[in-house]
Amino acid sequence: MLSHSSDCNSVKTPANTTLGPERGGMSKADRKQLVLEYLAVTGLGLPPAVLYRNLRLRQNATFSQKTLHNYLEELAAEGLLMRIDPDAMEERELVEIDDGRAYWMATDAGREAADDSFSFH
């Protein structure tokens, strides 16, 4: 559980929380690679808001949620990510969709393209 100290700029984190290095000076290609690798390494299908919050918290990503959306669309156009139906996931199925509310997941090609540039420990 996170707790705030009396100093509003400091946050106490639990022992098992690992915050990554500051990611502000990365190129666009590196930021896209971070998104791809995070999804490839975790193997999860995530909604954009959850992905964004985890990249901010765990990887200190500095790009905006709108920028993340652009990266997700670009990576999908490159065949590295796919949009999946969250309702189908409840039935233990992966159904790729084109429109509407979706979760994002790395494709086989995306997992192959993940080059382990980033540490997620």
pLDDT per residue as tens digits for the range 82-102: 999 999 999 999 999 999 999
Q: What is the pTM of this model?
A: 0.77
Pick the CATH number of 26-112 from 3.90.1150.10, 3.40.50.300, 1.10.10.10, 1.25.40.10: 1.10.10.10
| Structure tokens belonging to residue 5 | 């100290």
Domain limits of the chain? 26-112
- Each residue's pLDDT, cut to its tens digit, for the chain (121 residues) gives 444 433 433 334 444 444 445 555 789 999 999 999 999 999 999 999 999 999 999 899 999 999 999 999 999 999 999 999 999 999 999 999 999 999 999 999 999 999 877 766 5
Who's near 40: CB < 8 A, 6+ residues apart? 106, 110, 111, 113, 114
